[in-house]
Structure 1
């Protein structure tokens, strides 16, 4: 279970959110500026809230009262952003294998071959990011996140920068990961049509507050 209570006040924005996620695949829905990405950033440890608590499967990652704040690398959260964020100087294979460096072999949940087959990216292994389409970059980014053996996978608007044709190409792979990979997943998007192809466990956030 994922439990989040977070308050964050900035000059032009205030987030006050509490949620409990008991399903394996969840989505956070809302328009641009509603606080979706801010909430993801807080869970991941990129942004520290003013107050609150974050628990994943009974382990405390952040508690303002107890002064607990596990750093980003210690939270073991796999992140996929809309721009992919691959290392431009590395091949696809080395981008993927890079994620394995941070997990002892005995604790690795996946092998490189498994992820390559799951996402059908074998033909891309010797290419560099500038040679890939937007959809291919996102598949590689997703693979790298999975190879980090995360306790939680979070995807922040992973299709936002893609046209409709490329969205149609990568959605089946996102659905495959949601169906086949036994890792809790939070999918963030402003598109309800897109979300409903992944899950029907939806949290609605508006102006920094959870609506349902």
Structure 2
């Protein structure tokens, strides 16, 4: 399933302009300097911010369509989102945070797939803890688990590896590549690290001053740079 968007929206003094298609089984890296509007764009796709005009949706459903007065709330879009801050539910333990998404959608992962997720994130020993008992890196891993466990139609990853050591970056990166292929998930990745972009992404788009440029395959542009 392809997630497509063509939107214009205002965020503070920045005008967001983006036309983009996220295709099944491909990871698109959204690169650009701090303040370019990357996090605002993800929030608009997720339904947390409303664009002023345009369209967001799949072949099967419109999430946002200004002409048709459609603006689905986040929980009805079926997207998995990892924000720069973990945004875990403080009153739920790790196990219930991870399963929160699929409990709302009623579509649990099969037991073997859930076990693979827990192993890849290395959170088995954390399952009974509350968010305030987690380090920043641990909370980040739980947030990734919550996004993936809901079996989303697409993943939006805003600096997902912040606070993680190299070993865990590699493990989680390999897991994301696995589900990209097995689930044919479209993914949008924001990372300031060129290494993450090179490891995970099939193509890149650059965002500057709120405007998303033309997509390029990594093979076409060489080593990407987020500066």
Q: Does 1:187 align with 2:185?
A: no
Return the alpha-carbon distance in structure 1 between the equivalents of residues 204 and 143 of structure 2. 24
TM-score normalised according to structure 1 size: 0.87
What secondary structure, in the 3-state scheme, does the structure 2 residue paired with 1:197 have?
Answer: helix
Contact 1:9 1:50 in 2 (8 A): yes
Write the mapping of 1:52-201 to structure 2, written as runs, cut at 5 A. Answer: 52-104=54-106, 107-111=107-111, 112-160=114-162, 162=163, 166-181=164-179, 182=183, 183-201=185-203
Return the alpha-carbon distance in structure 1 between the equivalents of residues 93 and 65 of structure 2. 39
1:16-56 Cα deviation digits (max 9, x unpaired): 11112335211111111111111111111111111001122
Which range is displaced more, 73-82 or 89-98?
89-98
Please report how far the alpha carbon of residue 73 of structure 1 lies from its aligned counterpart in structure 2 after TM superposition: 1.0
Please report how far the alpha carbon of residue 206 of structure 1 lies from its aligned counterpart in structure 2 after TM superposition: 0.7
Find the counterpart in structure 2 of residue 208 from structure 1. 210
List alignment gaps of at least 5 residues for structure 2.
215-227
Superposed CA RMSD in Å reads 2.0
List alignment gaps of at least 5 residues for structure 1.
none
TM-score normalised according to structure 2 size: 0.82
Which range is displaced more, 145-154 or 19-28?
19-28
**4+ runs of 1 displaced by more than 4 Å?**
none
Q: Cα distance 1:171–1:49, how it changes in 2: closer, same or farther (>3 A)? A: same
Return the alpha-carbon distance in structure 2 between the equivalents of residues 15 and 25 of structure 1. 21
Aligned residues: 206
Please report how far the alpha carbon of residue 68 of structure 1 lies from its aligned counterpart in structure 2 after TM superposition: 1.7
Return the alpha-carbon distance in structure 1 between the equivalents of residues 10 and 85 of structure 2. 27
Please report how far the alpha carbon of residue 15 of structure 1 lies from its aligned counterpart in structure 2 after TM superposition: 1.2
What secondary structure, in the 3-state scheme, does the structure 2 residue paired with 1:33 have?
Answer: coil
